[in-house]
Structure 1
Amino acid sequence: MKSLIKLLCFIFILCVTSTFAQQPNKSFEIRDGHFWLNGNQFSIYSGEMHYPRVPMQYWRHRLEMMKAMGLNTVTTYVFWNYHEESPGKWNFSGEKDLKKFIRTAQEVGLYVIIRPGPYVCAEWEFGGYPWWLQKDKDLEIRSDNKAFLEQCERYINQLAKQIIPLQINHGGPVIMVQAENEFGSYVSQRKDIALEKHRIYSHKIKDLIIKSGITVPLFTSDGSSLFRGGSIERALPTANGEDNIEVLKKTVNEYNGGKGPYMVAEYYPGWLDHWAEPFVKVSTEDVVKQTKVYLENGVSFNYYMIHGGTNFGFTSGANYDKNHDIQPDITSYDYDAPISEAGWATEKYNALRDVFQKINGEKLPDIPKPNKVIRFSNVRFSKTTSLFDLINEKKPVNSQKPLTFEDLNIGNGYILYRRKFDKGQKGKLEIKGLRDYANVYINEHWKGELNRVNNKYDLDIEIKAGDRIEILVENMGRINYGSEIVHNLKGIITPVKINGIEISGNWEMFPLPFNQFPKYHHKQKDITQRSPILYESEFNLDETGDTFLDMRKFGKGIVFVNGRNIGRYWSKVGPQLTLYVPGVWLKKGKNVIQVFEQINDSTVTEISSMDTPILDQLVK
């Protein structure tokens, strides 16, 4: 018997050894001015797609779309605040299963590039940072700050657990990881900090990535004129948006020892979009032309975005400029990308596929079929109630002054601020610290709108003794780009004034995070026009499929479908007038739609869907 056991053990060891001997060593490296994959020179043809912006069930379809277009790599940001749901509570499961996304890409035949930040921009809430970092008064983001770097190390170590087993040298598809992100542009805007101090911080981020055990090559990503502030020693510099090959090579050579490889980590076949601004489009002809320039000159590149997806829930961020103060990003992240928000092949996609087919030695895979699309009509709302009825059932938080979202320990959603006046007041109500949008009421009757997008921070008002003022404030997404990212508190962040005099004392606050749609008692009564309102409807479906809710009759608010927050609408301004609902979030049989409508300036009794989106219609 012992002899038999020894023989079986010998055979097992022999088989295992033989199996490993048959597996070629997998490697990716940067040397001699080139990328090398498994010992052969390699060019990266990548498309960017962010797994949090696409339902998990659709990941494979979108990745197969990329493969069928002729790409060999997928690039994704990782959003820190997506995975750390509250301080110390990490989630990499279900819709947030990064390992599954990476493995699916490998199964499809794509390599993977990871862009973990910790700062990512990406038109994503707070550039990926958890909102509660701002609660630590000793912490300064994006800087050589002990408290901040300790938080970054926690995040990077959690991320490394997901990535290390799937690096190419471990048999996975991950070939590169980015260190920080577009840091050169931030350095150029923060001239109050010495360049050397900036570089100390960015190099510490690189060191934390290496310390975590990540061993694949690192790279940086900046505009070509910003390498001085953004480049990091022993990380490949890549140039975002650079279309001039001579400039690209000259700049990379200057910061990479006089040699390549040359890569554009963000080439833009489309562009981002804000509420109340035109939907931006980039022509197919321009994208095809620039792609050919890269291919003919041996430049690697990544389409940002190849497929944008959707800013579900409260994930959309905002930009900032002096004219608008804030520019909130729309819910759709369609981006005018080659693969549309719903995963459809566009004219741009087909034209690029033709380009890649000509350089591909084998026939490209067939284009995956689009998912089924359905539509439904005239679903009547069966439950309605005023938000004020909901508020009046809640216990307020009391303070001598208005508190911020962060003070009240909520990240997103709304706060209703309320105060009763013992004496009459008449004049100009002023809230310079409004973040970001508000409707003002007296005794639950609408009096006007304040709006950070349009720099409207004051309102003529008359209050009688005994009146109550209500200010419903919406967080429209924290700034995700530029130097103003360090000023990202939400709610009312400065004193409320009337005729220049601060109104303090006896403030009541009702946090409304809308982590889930609130439960309420349906009340059969007339609701005052312009009163914020909650709607609910139930309806049945015989079949499921993707669809687009038609929000043109509504004003401004958010929509939940079967318990999921599918995003914000602002139909009073556009350009987005529909909301994408993935078919995998619908059910055969009973479905539930719930709407929180903030403006309520017209009678709405029902909701319908469409089979095509409306993303490019500004409303005057």
Structure 2
Amino acid sequence: MGAFQARLACVLCLSSASWMAAALPGRNPFRIDQSHLTPSHRQTRGMGLKVTGSNFTLDGFRFLIVAGTMHYFRVPREYWLDRLRKMRACGFNTVVTHIPWNLHEPKRGQFIFTGNLDVMAFLFLASEVGLWAILCPGPYIGSDLDLGGLPSWLLQDSKMKLRTTYRGFTKAVDHYFDELISRIAPLQYQYEGPVIAVQMENEYGSYHLDKNYMSFVKRALMRRGIKVLLMTADNGKDVINGHSKNVLATLHLKNIRKETYTKLSSIQGQSPIMMMLYTTSSFDMWGVARHFQDSNVMMENVRDMFKLRFSLNFYMFHGGTNFGFMGGATDLNGYHPMVTSYDYTALLTEDGEYTSEYIMYEEFFSQVIEVPESVKPERIPKTAYESITPTHFLSLWDVLPYLDEKIKSFKPINMERLSVNQGNGQSFGYTVYETSITRGGYLYSGNHVRDRGQVFLDKQYIGVLDHSTDNLAVPQNQDKKKAKNLTILVENQGRLAYGQNINKERKGITGDIYLDHSPLRRFTISCLDMTTNFIERNLPNHWKSITPKTRGPAFFLGYLKIDETPNDTFINLEGWNKGVIFINGKNLGRYWKIGPQKALYLPGPWLQLGRNEIIVFEEYKPGLKIQFTNTPDLGY
């Protein structure tokens, strides 16, 4: 008996015998026939997913959920079908996906459910390939996203209490759910859709600031027409705090002990065990060694869970990419922002390649589950394009005069409260704070720079203020009668994705900055949010030729010419330092020489025949070339 199985031995009283009676005869007594329980095979619909004693049933038949998580918003829409087919071919019967509020409602009352955010189209594709779906609509979803997927404009309210029944929060949730649930409710099982269950919130037991909150979420879902089985999901020690009456409690594989199952039994009696988050690894952070998981230990755990007839969900089956600025951060052992890749050492790589672990689970599932045969997609070709040399640049100082909505303020204002984006504040990117000083001394931030501020005196770089550095020497002014321009370029590197501290999350400059003991005053503040609209409309057409002395912060322009059908590739900015890459106006994500990630994934569908515009916003010193490779480099 393995260590995991020994730890869970107390739940062997689950009705394994009844499962064995339903198993197919042959070499494996635990083999389960579920080949008739797929969206594409069900001609009529019965009772849906139910809890029947210690088992799940679907249409009255015993059903083991073998799920994998995939986020549609982290995968190019053109590759959804490929990734879902690979999931089905591996032996999975269910896809789990989270729905990010901040991406769907980036501004109050302005909703996006098209393109890469067309969750309805994603679910239709899942049904077509024979996968059921479990949805996690939040409102908070975690998922290692900026603010856990909550929109930053909520933070304009200085009294905001996220994930509670605070009126300012529940009113916004109601408005969002009115739009979201009306779209996903028709895709439930009862209406011949693929959705068999909905997870309420995410790990609320570890947050637990309001005992009435989960009841509010439950009512909000049900009165808008959610009829399928409702679930909660918490780690072992918090399962009771996160539970809601008449809702199935499921587990995340964390802090699992024998007493965890005693707690489960006390709140819901005999029930199936669903390991709603069986994690393959963890997200990677800038400046920290890459995370790995022991695949042999994982396989042993999965074997044990199958013997115990646990349903399970792999987080992640396919991780994808934190395109743009969607990635969040953690404050465990200090503030750490996420890298651009969300590879997560999942069963499919960031670019959709099969891993050795995928092959291992494909073989295992074929032995224990009887599923319809499906065609396994071929690998997607990759190309290492010829390196290109940027030819032109625009410095930050060239761009600032053309930025819209400059704000004059006596004191610094954090980015969420800026009067930009139709009153919704600034969500992502950089914010520029400018003021005048007549003397030098020491700048003291009081930890009010969130998260990383480059400081310039008359356009000359003098240092950085961030979470670990709160003071900086400013050179003395030789002519005390002449004012100098002090500029702080502040980057939001990602809001916290977890924990009670999300209520305190504000970005930009969040309080006073002092020169010696005097607070700086009279700021001009500019929004540098790096959206597609910004790249296409706000950059002035005054590009200059690059010289050996050209430095950042600046935008560097180059062109990639493609003569054949574009393929996936990876951009390696060796020799560059830190910044953001844009491909044909789309924000590919952040790069940073401190690693661990060294190359950024560029999907082929983002490229086009002929000329492709590449713009690199480099904060320090540019490299000589933009290089391409056909293999990822996520570090070690």
* 1:414-453 aligned within 5 A: 414-421=430-437, 423-452=438-467
- C-alpha displacement of 1:239: 0.8
- Paired residue type of 1:267: Y
Q: Which residue of 2 aligns with 1:11?
A: none
Conserved in 2, the CA contact under 8 Å of 1:445 and 1:528?
no
Are residues 589 and 206 of structure 1, via their aligned partners in 2, closer, same or farther at CA, if it must alter by over 3 Å?
same
Any idea what SS the aligned residue of 2:393 has? Answer: strand
**242-251 or 210-219, which deviates more:** 242-251
Conserved in 1, the CA contact under 8 Å of 2:341 and 2:350?
yes
User: Out of 256, 277, 287, which is 2:288 matched to?
Assistant: 277
Conserved in 2, the CA contact under 8 Å of 1:242 and 1:248?
no
* 1:94-113 aligned within 5 A: 94-113=115-134
- C-alpha displacement of 1:366: 4.0
* 1:138-217 aligned within 5 A: 138-187=159-208, 198-217=210-229
Partner deviation per Cα, 1:496-536 (whole Å, 9 max, x = no partner): 102232122x2111211111224231123658665301111
Any idea what SS the aligned residue of 1:369 has? Answer: coil
User: Out of 537, 542, 545, which is 1:524 matched to?
Assistant: 545
Distance in 2 of aligned mates of 1:394 and 1:31: 61
Conserved in 2, the CA contact under 8 Å of 1:444 and 1:531?
no
Q: Which residue of 2 aligns with 1:27?
A: 48
Distance in 1 of aligned mates of 2:416 and 2:627: 37
1:515 aligns with 2:534: no
1:133 aligns with 2:150: no
- Point out where structure 2 has 5 or more consecutive residues left out of the alignment: 1-41, 419-424
Any idea what SS the aligned residue of 1:368 has? Answer: coil
Conserved in 1, the CA contact under 8 Å of 2:447 and 2:466?
no
Conserved in 2, the CA contact under 8 Å of 1:57 and 1:584?
yes
Conserved in 2, the CA contact under 8 Å of 1:79 and 1:120?
yes
**220-229 or 426-435, which deviates more:** 426-435
Distance in 2 of aligned mates of 1:242 and 1:314: 28
* 1:350-361 aligned within 5 A: 350-361=359-370
Q: Which residue of 1 aligns with 2:380?
A: 371
- Paired residue type of 2:211: R
Any idea what SS the aligned residue of 1:261 has? Answer: coil
1:487 aligns with 2:504: yes
**379-388 or 438-447, which deviates more:** 379-388
**245-254 or 410-419, which deviates more:** 245-254
- C-alpha displacement of 1:401: 1.1
Are residues 363 and 38 of structure 1, via their aligned partners in 2, closer, same or farther at CA, if it must alter by over 3 Å?
closer
- Paired residue type of 2:410: Q
Are residues 70 and 144 of structure 1, via their aligned partners in 2, closer, same or farther at CA, if it must alter by over 3 Å?
same
Identity %: 32
Are residues 525 and 97 of structure 1, via their aligned partners in 2, closer, same or farther at CA, if it must alter by over 3 Å?
closer
Distance in 2 of aligned mates of 1:109 and 1:297: 25
Any idea what SS the aligned residue of 1:230 has? Answer: coil
After TM superposition, the score normalised by the length of structure 1 is 0.90
Are residues 382 and 205 of structure 1, via their aligned partners in 2, closer, same or farther at CA, if it must alter by over 3 Å?
same
Are residues 328 and 277 of structure 1, via their aligned partners in 2, closer, same or farther at CA, if it must alter by over 3 Å?
same
- C-alpha displacement of 1:252: 2.1
- C-alpha displacement of 1:431: 4.6
- Paired residue type of 1:64: R
Distance in 1 of aligned mates of 2:586 and 2:94: 31
User: Out of 55, 72, 89, which is 2:76 matched to?
Assistant: 55
- Paired residue type of 1:277: V
- Paired residue type of 1:460: A
Any idea what SS the aligned residue of 1:567 has? Answer: strand
Partner deviation per Cα, 1:373-396 (whole Å, 9 max, x = no partner): 011122111221211121144474
Q: Which residue of 2 aligns with 1:475?
A: 492
Any idea what SS the aligned residue of 2:291 has? Answer: coil
Conserved in 2, the CA contact under 8 Å of 1:26 and 1:171?
no
After TM superposition, the score normalised by the length of structure 2 is 0.88
- C-alpha displacement of 1:360: 2.9
Partner deviation per Cα, 1:565-587 (whole Å, 9 max, x = no partner): 0111112x111111111111111
Distance in 1 of aligned mates of 2:434 and 2:255: 53
- C-alpha displacement of 1:244: 5.8
User: Out of 250, 270, 280, which is 1:238 matched to?
Assistant: 250
Conserved in 2, the CA contact under 8 Å of 1:56 and 1:95?
yes
Distance in 2 of aligned mates of 1:442 and 1:244: 54
- C-alpha displacement of 1:218: 0.4
Distance in 1 of aligned mates of 2:412 and 2:142: 30
Conserved in 2, the CA contact under 8 Å of 1:273 and 1:330?
yes
C-alpha root-mean-square deviation of aligned residues, in Å?
A: 1.9
Q: Which residue of 2 aligns with 1:553?
A: 575
Conserved in 2, the CA contact under 8 Å of 1:249 and 1:260?
no
User: Out of 397, 400, 407, which is 2:407 matched to?
Assistant: 397
Distance in 2 of aligned mates of 1:523 and 1:333: 35
User: Out of 295, 312, 315, which is 2:323 matched to?
Assistant: 312
Distance in 2 of aligned mates of 1:237 and 1:616: 37
Distance in 1 of aligned mates of 2:186 and 2:413: 44
User: Out of 504, 508, 514, which is 1:497 matched to?
Assistant: 514
Are residues 366 and 247 of structure 1, via their aligned partners in 2, closer, same or farther at CA, if it must alter by over 3 Å?
farther
Any idea what SS the aligned residue of 2:490 has? Answer: strand
Conserved in 2, the CA contact under 8 Å of 1:248 and 1:262?
no
- Paired residue type of 1:289: E
1:460 aligns with 2:476: no
Conserved in 2, the CA contact under 8 Å of 1:284 and 1:351?
no
Are residues 362 and 206 of structure 1, via their aligned partners in 2, closer, same or farther at CA, if it must alter by over 3 Å?
closer
1:73 aligns with 2:94: yes
Q: Which residue of 1 aligns with 2:396?
A: 387
Conserved in 1, the CA contact under 8 Å of 2:54 and 2:272?
yes
Q: Which residue of 2 aligns with 1:83?
A: 104
Are residues 394 and 91 of structure 1, via their aligned partners in 2, closer, same or farther at CA, if it must alter by over 3 Å?
closer
- C-alpha displacement of 1:215: 0.4
